[in-house]
Structure 1
């Protein structure tokens, strides 16, 4: 079985600034069941404080929260995603890749990387 992972992106902040954005490849990722894949997400910001999130959306359902990463913190993730989904925020390269291990057919979805500027929150 092949698993299709689609990538999209969006960025939000309490103050919309042109310098704050995520850069995420939009091509399909095709992998086999049981494989490990890494979905890339880079961000640009001049702000010293921010959050990054990953979401999964399958079918016509609403996006489902996978995990968050905060500068100098491990962030959090719901129990259903803790075992196979992981990410590390690298503030030097400004990236927060999502690693999915032991792919399952149910992982076929659109994956969103989101950036939040916490300045002023």
Structure 2
């Protein structure tokens, strides 16, 4: 069995149709760590872009301007820091990484959202 890393994305490919709602899960070990979780979007041929930073001790996730839309929300409970994308569009097709913000970023394996 794969070793459970500090941060883990269980689904490596998610398929959706335009208009669907999708949830991208991101599980972190809850060992008293207070580091922020950062969600990144990497479209094919582009560099990763920060979407949202979820500070462990703050109430609200901080979305970057281009992702500051009602279509994008974050749900946090019991170690899951999930990214929810509503009303999926073709432009949402990309790799989505959650990362634990330490001095270096520890990436989970990513999830590819395929929009047909």
Same fold flag (TM > 0.5): yes
Shift of 1:72: 2.9
Aligned counterpart in structure 1 of residue 17 of structure 2, from 20, 23, 32 = 32
Gaps of 5+ in 1: 1-18
CA deviation profile, 1:47-99 (whole Å, cap 9, x unmatched):
34110010000112110111011123113111221211111332xx1110000
Total equivalences in the alignment: 98
TM-score, structure 1 length as denominator? Answer: 0.72
State the partner residue of 2:65: 79
User: Any idea what SS the aligned residue of 1:96 has?
Assistant: strand
Gaps of 5+ in 2: 104-116
State the partner residue of 1:95: 80
**Aligned-pair RMSD on alpha carbons?**
1.9
**Quick one: distance in 1 between partners of 2:27 and 2:16?**
22
Which protein shows a greater Rg?
1
**Quick one: distance in 2 between partners of 1:68 and 1:115?**
10
User: Any idea what SS the aligned residue of 1:88 has?
Assistant: strand
User: Any idea what SS the aligned residue of 1:97 has?
Assistant: strand
Aligned counterpart in structure 1 of residue 94 of structure 2, from 86, 89, 109 = 109
Cα pair 1:71 1:89 within 8 Å, conserved:
no
